[in-house]
Structure 1
């Protein structure tokens, strides 16, 4: 199940049991905003017209929880914006106010043009080989979505297989985007998932590769699913039952199961392969070993890295025996499937190894003996993150100081070579199958869009496959990794990116600080056209690898979750203080940004240190920490946040919940809250309620606005034109209040 935002790169709800104590709706009031004012900026720029906020209904809802009377006057904003005329009207008024304000911002149009130019280069995904064919996506530059293409052999010409940019022509289908895609082993078919309006729900479709014809298959209600082909005529996938009418984007989800679909048959003929009726809340994902001998089912009950592993033997394109064999029956440790060869399966696990190790599980298909486990590569100081078997080699990816690198070993774990790059960045990918003579990987950094390379697994020779042609020179920028002390003395690493000339002159500049700090998600160096526009304008970008993330193993993750969540906030605050103290960020010129769990981070630290920041962009954030488990997949997040139904957890959540800790009469930074109307991972009600509370409080004269994207969700699948428009709005807002001069 997805966390509340990895923000690729990589995302939230949990509440109490039924309320014990009185709750009532009494008279309602409407908060009437003050008239438009004019004031000098925080950064001393020209005076500027500030908006009048739309009126917001305020209800007298009081709940008694664990001895405290708690007001929730904006709970009515939890209604689905797609079905509630009152909420939809309120959102329209908020969007009108923010649009009018953003339209005034100097340099916004120039930013939009700059971001567009930074997207205008040909880019490819990592190729996947199947049956002598190579499959990949290609974007010519400014296409809203990348196009799925196929080549007959590595040197062949690319042929369009699926062009999602044409899907908008079908009426009544919403804004559909191409999500995941997996070719069948022989390369004759490709199964792919469609996303609609940014929702986490997926529809599985199938295309015939030879003819390019879309088949009739429409498999609905898939969510967080992988696709595991069983031969070339069918595949395994995961889906939920159809949700109640009108509740698809808000209701909690239960009873996920693994199903087998034979190509050419209706979804009603699919066979249920695996389910856990005694654990209706469990999430399941399935994959198939490259040799087609085993289906591997990994189950979890939350976003905590604890999973069970079961395998099903496969034969002749079908499940031979639906009785699953348990490899890890208890949900105590993390397991990541690597590959299978015959009756040997390789996994990466943190069982007995907080930084993970590589193990091989030997199976007996007859079921007469239990699986045996052998350690192939033991734990090191660096975190083992991913692995594949390609050719007759293991390719393993490690995390070191928040960046990634890869090593190649034989199947017994004996080192053969390291894959090194001469800059701070991340090498990732390394897909392929046993027997393949090659793999593909990409290198990316803050100043370098992904460049794709082919690695000959036999000789170690590396050749370029797709290297982008850029409108800027990456060498004009410096990427540094620094560290700073947090409140408790813990050293926390942080990347700092800026123009080389700016670093050489030691000149402080407006800075944008980004963070996440949750769900064991590691933030590694990566390229963003929107961030590059900020850098091109002369700003500084910083990324802090705060506690709660997955950059440094289990201890780092545990130090930023549950009762330790304050460490994440302390780390992020300390990062901002360091940037100013070191003369990197200008005083009065520090902006902060984060998405999903990172949006909650940004809102929480604003409440705790409003004086430190000039501007903020909490994006798709989890803002009501006392009700986050009431919606969609929010219950999965209680192992990170705690459960509001337990008093000890509730008191921790109450102490930092952004919605409940706004400080009236404090001088708050300028805040632009961003969300989307079809976000069914972190429902937009979080942002709606938070903004309503901000606008009702006396927080100074800087603006506190809401921008709601239509036909969009938590982030994945957003078309390029929406990315450009929202990026320009957000950066222009942050630039205005940090003093970054835009052309």
Structure 2
């Protein structure tokens, strides 16, 4: 790979430039409101920045504008910024594809030619025939901020229901498209959030959930809770006002629904949840096609919130579920709805004691495609539906399955694979031809001159955390003859049973190529990499383990000569933003720079906004004394300190959020930055900048247009260039 630039600045020059930049910054003084002082569970809490919780107030808007003026000035005052943006734009510009899906007489797949703001849904008669545009949201909004959030085809493939999200909000508008003519039906379903679509087998309508009681603003900029979701059935061609109410639970305003229609078409399966884990199961027998047939009687299958149950398929009254009930590493069970007591359940695929069964999908009549997580690497298999017997193992490199499509009624499957160094390979396999091997349908190639995966190494190490637990971590870097400390980007998450698998990231590759850098991805407790025990080891009263694991990763990287403190950057988003916020409070001495994106920063009030109450299953409920006492120990907002010596100086910190984020409201970032800047304002030891960047017409991340993604990545890489000790730049 060619390298155009060499030395940029010495470490001495770097520290001086950071200091000068910091001294030029005059942070806006956020007023302190003393009215919000209260005793909670015996703790005296002063919430002086609560006024920033109102996104529509003039004061909040002035605060955001002042912060953006500072951060944009800092980030745009860089000689390399334009070159960074140009390189990122070039790097982003390669064709990207999703897995094809067979529906009715056509195949469908998402495609992005390179720099399109939103991927386009394509239609194809056969895998060899010409492709045509079926749905392109780039024509809906000129700035690309309208995105497809989800799609669901009718059983016969004649119609497709799809959700549209605007400005990154979780709110959706559902439209319905005729697949033969490529035009939309007139009805538009609004006030939809956290809902899937389930078509009845007659293809005449579908079930979905909406919040009909929601009033006022609901565009993603609001902070209030969305409550009282109701389940409806929509008949094609009719006004949404005529939709049939199927179920509501006004005594449980936080309950949310997910629906499935059994493969035989006879049953509606209703999954009810109120947090991000554990769900109850109900079912109803579907009647005839007449409207009055939808006076459904819901009957319980599982009536306790004690485990996860995901519907897979059915054989008559026997329903198959993927579950962690009495199986921390998950298993497949069968429940007869006519006799649903637990003692009658059967287990065709039992729990594996080491590997985690991540998901199962029924294809080709009587087969299950299953995906295991083995030491943070995916294994893909096909097993017999009734016996669980292994039929086929699909060979994979170190990486992850990032897409799968297939149906019980079809022998074909498509699956996508990616890794740290590969943006994607899409495979095709037909169970009707068992003697043939999977074939590569498409391999996605990068537009980076001289790039070769052979020039890089991927190693998995295990390091000790504070309590002597072994934590796995992937380290990716250029192969080199002599090991030497390099700029390092340490990325973490650690929560919500989410597994941080090997996957491709353009920003990560940009960091590695531009700074000859190292990437590090620790699999912190709180995730799902080793099943529920790993998840439980980093949630609720054990949440501090996540921060300890991350800090131990930083210590491992410096101790073993991968990097040095002044070259080490940390990054995390959402729950990972909380991770970054907590760690710069607890161990600021470990890091040179930090980027926290859309983070949860006020751990005492997170449950009062948007969907925050659902996170109590991971964080604990602040309304309960035992959890409040735990949360206040690491809440980023409530543990900000004044640097009293050089070791307490905060690393250069960039906080990123967006004005339409209704998953993690931007108020978290506003309050945290206000507290940080106040704490460091007069500290002689704080030379590193503390910045807040607020993006407009953007949300939590999903559906963000390419142009905005490149702009955000440019901000981050520019920030690292200006604040880390980088000794070379390849632009």
Q: Indicate yes or no: 2:446 matched with 1:464.
A: no
- How far did 1:160 drift? 0.9
Q: Indicate yes or no: 2:225 matched with 1:255.
A: no
Summarize the alignment of residues 358-369 of structure 1 with structure 2, pairs less than 5 Å apart: 358-364=332-338
In structure 1, what is the Cα distance between the partners aligned to 2:12 and 2:668? Answer: 31
**2:163 and 2:173 in contact (8 A); partners too:** yes
Q: Indicate yes or no: 2:695 matched with 1:709.
A: yes
Summarize the alignment of residues 581-600 of structure 1 with structure 2, pairs less than 5 Å apart: 581-600=559-578
| Stretch deviating more after TM superposition (144-153 or 51-60) | 51-60
**2:571 and 2:596 in contact (8 A); partners too:** yes
**1:408 and 1:417 in contact (8 A); partners too:** yes
- Seen in structure 2, the aligned counterparts of structure 1 residues 46 and 487 have a Cα distance that, compared at 3 Å, is closer
Correspondence for 2:658: 676
Correspondence for 1:348: 322
Summarize the alignment of residues 367-406 of structure 1 with structure 2, pairs less than 5 Å apart: 372-380=344-352, 381-391=354-364, 392-406=366-380
**1:42 and 1:588 in contact (8 A); partners too:** no
- How far did 1:127 drift? 1.4
Q: Indicate yes or no: 2:109 matched with 1:136.
A: yes
Summarize the alignment of residues 629-648 of structure 1 with structure 2, pairs less than 5 Å apart: 629-648=607-626
Correspondence for 1:70: 45
In structure 2, what is the Cα distance between the partners aligned to 1:643 and 1:509? Answer: 41
- How far did 1:470 drift? 1.8
Correspondence for 2:474: 495
- How far did 1:315 drift? 4.8
Q: Which runs of 5+ in 1 are unaligned?
A: 1-38
Matched residue SS, 1:577: helix
Correspondence for 1:563: 541
Correspondence for 2:93: 120
In structure 2, what is the Cα distance between the partners aligned to 1:326 and 1:690? Answer: 44
* Cα displacement string for residues 538-583 of structure 1 (whole angstroms, at most 9, x for unaligned residues): 1111111111111111111111111111101100000000011111
- Seen in structure 2, the aligned counterparts of structure 1 residues 94 and 163 have a Cα distance that, compared at 3 Å, is same
In structure 2, what is the Cα distance between the partners aligned to 1:400 and 1:192? Answer: 34
Q: Indicate yes or no: 2:508 matched with 1:531.
A: yes
- How far did 1:640 drift? 1.2
TM-score relative to the length of structure 2: 0.91
- How far did 1:509 drift? 0.4
- Seen in structure 2, the aligned counterparts of structure 1 residues 267 and 247 have a Cα distance that, compared at 3 Å, is closer
Decide which of 447, 452, 455 is 1:476's aligned counterpart: 455
- Seen in structure 2, the aligned counterparts of structure 1 residues 673 and 218 have a Cα distance that, compared at 3 Å, is same
Summarize the alignment of residues 42-121 of structure 1 with structure 2, pairs less than 5 Å apart: 43=15, 48-50=20-22, 51-61=25-35, 62-80=37-55, 83-121=56-94
**2:244 and 2:294 in contact (8 A); partners too:** no
Summarize the alignment of residues 439-454 of structure 1 with structure 2, pairs less than 5 Å apart: 439-454=413-428
Q: Indicate yes or no: 2:148 matched with 1:178.
A: yes
**1:243 and 1:251 in contact (8 A); partners too:** no
**1:363 and 1:370 in contact (8 A); partners too:** no
Correspondence for 1:16: none
Correspondence for 1:196: 166
**2:600 and 2:669 in contact (8 A); partners too:** yes
In structure 1, what is the Cα distance between the partners aligned to 2:197 and 2:492? Answer: 32
**1:40 and 1:46 in contact (8 A); partners too:** no
Aligned length: 694
In structure 1, what is the Cα distance between the partners aligned to 2:443 and 2:455? Answer: 18
Correspondence for 1:9: none
- How far did 1:247 drift? 6.1
Q: Indicate yes or no: 2:200 matched with 1:226.
A: no
* Cα displacement string for residues 640-660 of structure 1 (whole angstroms, at most 9, x for unaligned residues): 111211221111111111011
- Seen in structure 2, the aligned counterparts of structure 1 residues 685 and 368 have a Cα distance that, compared at 3 Å, is closer
Summarize the alignment of residues 208-357 of structure 1 with structure 2, pairs less than 5 Å apart: 208-230=178-200, 231-246=202-217, 249-303=222-276, 305-317=277-289, 322-357=296-331
In structure 2, what is the Cα distance between the partners aligned to 1:326 and 1:69? Answer: 45
Decide which of 679, 696, 700 is 2:678's aligned counterpart: 696
- Seen in structure 2, the aligned counterparts of structure 1 residues 680 and 222 have a Cα distance that, compared at 3 Å, is same
Matched residue SS, 2:661: coil
Correspondence for 1:413: 388
**1:629 and 1:637 in contact (8 A); partners too:** yes
Q: Which runs of 5+ in 2 are unaligned?
A: 1-10
In structure 2, what is the Cα distance between the partners aligned to 1:384 and 1:268? Answer: 42
- Seen in structure 2, the aligned counterparts of structure 1 residues 131 and 506 have a Cα distance that, compared at 3 Å, is same
* Cα displacement string for residues 436-467 of structure 1 (whole angstroms, at most 9, x for unaligned residues): 12100011011110211111223152112221
Correspondence for 2:5: none
- How far did 1:506 drift? 1.3
In structure 1, what is the Cα distance between the partners aligned to 2:666 and 2:427? Answer: 40
**2:18 and 2:687 in contact (8 A); partners too:** no
In structure 2, what is the Cα distance between the partners aligned to 1:273 and 1:730? Answer: 47
* Cα displacement string for residues 493-518 of structure 1 (whole angstroms, at most 9, x for unaligned residues): 011111123xx421210101111111
In structure 2, what is the Cα distance between the partners aligned to 1:495 and 1:41? Answer: 32
- Seen in structure 2, the aligned counterparts of structure 1 residues 675 and 46 have a Cα distance that, compared at 3 Å, is closer
- Seen in structure 2, the aligned counterparts of structure 1 residues 46 and 597 have a Cα distance that, compared at 3 Å, is closer
**2:378 and 2:398 in contact (8 A); partners too:** no
Correspondence for 1:26: none
Correspondence for 2:526: 548
Output the aligned Cα RMSD.
2.1
Q: Indicate yes or no: 2:722 matched with 1:736.
A: yes
**2:29 and 2:678 in contact (8 A); partners too:** no
**2:403 and 2:417 in contact (8 A); partners too:** no
**1:672 and 1:705 in contact (8 A); partners too:** yes
In structure 1, what is the Cα distance between the partners aligned to 2:335 and 2:316? Answer: 11
In structure 2, what is the Cα distance between the partners aligned to 1:43 and 1:370? Answer: 64
* Cα displacement string for residues 678-736 of structure 1 (whole angstroms, at most 9, x for unaligned residues): 11111100000101111111250110000001000111010000000010111211232
| Stretch deviating more after TM superposition (280-289 or 516-525) | 280-289
- How far did 1:610 drift? 0.5
In structure 2, what is the Cα distance between the partners aligned to 1:535 and 1:184? Answer: 44
**2:284 and 2:297 in contact (8 A); partners too:** yes
In structure 2, what is the Cα distance between the partners aligned to 1:717 and 1:292? Answer: 32
- Seen in structure 2, the aligned counterparts of structure 1 residues 43 and 574 have a Cα distance that, compared at 3 Å, is farther
- Seen in structure 2, the aligned counterparts of structure 1 residues 510 and 281 have a Cα distance that, compared at 3 Å, is same
**2:565 and 2:591 in contact (8 A); partners too:** no
Matched residue SS, 1:168: coil
| Stretch deviating more after TM superposition (429-438 or 638-647) | 429-438
- Seen in structure 2, the aligned counterparts of structure 1 residues 667 and 369 have a Cα distance that, compared at 3 Å, is closer
TM-score relative to the length of structure 1: 0.90
